[in-house]
């Protein structure tokens, strides 16, 4: 089980309409206006959702020391060119 340090706890209010008010200090720290609510049965976890998930995920799948996507595309283009050249040589 992993543990995470708690940086602070602040009370928040839930309005009669079901809206949750998140304190400004937390909103500014996470720089987001969207959150994901995770119901864990005995607790609720509120996670920030990035404004642009694609930009936030950029580079997250990179293998340390592995080729970049540009290098992989260049290798694929070279392989395709070799295959096309081999087809042209065959009668």
Q: What is the pLDDT of residues 1-24, one digit of tens each?
A: 555 666 778 788 889 999 988 888
**Could you tell me the pTM of the whole model?**
0.48
Q: Nearest 10 degrees: CA dihedral of 41, 15, 12, 36? A: 50
Q: Quote the tokens at residue 62.
A: 């990179």
**Is residue 46 within 8 Å of residue 22, measured between CB atoms?**
yes
Are 37 and 46 in contact by the 8 Å Cβ rule? The answer is yes
Query: Using one digit for the tens of pLDDT, what is the confidence trace for 19-74?
Result: 988 888 888 888 888 888 999 999 988 888 887 878 777 777 777 788 888 888 99
The phi and psi torsions of 57 (rounded to 5 degrees) equal -85, -10
Provide the residue ranges of all domains of the chain, joining segments of one domain with +: 10-52
């Amino acid at each position: 089980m992993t543990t995470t340090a708690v940086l602070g706890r602040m009370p928040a209010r839930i309005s009669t309409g079901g809206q949750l008010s998140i304190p400004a200090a937390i909103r500014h720290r996470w720089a987001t206006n969207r959150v994901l609510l995770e119901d864990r049965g005995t607790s609720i976890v509120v996670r920030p959702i990035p404004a642009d998930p694609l930009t936030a995920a950029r580079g997250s799948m990179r293998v340390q020391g592995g080729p970049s996507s540009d290098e992989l595309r260049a290798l694929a283009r070279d392989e395709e060119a070799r295959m096309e050249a081999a087809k042209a040589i065959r009668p």
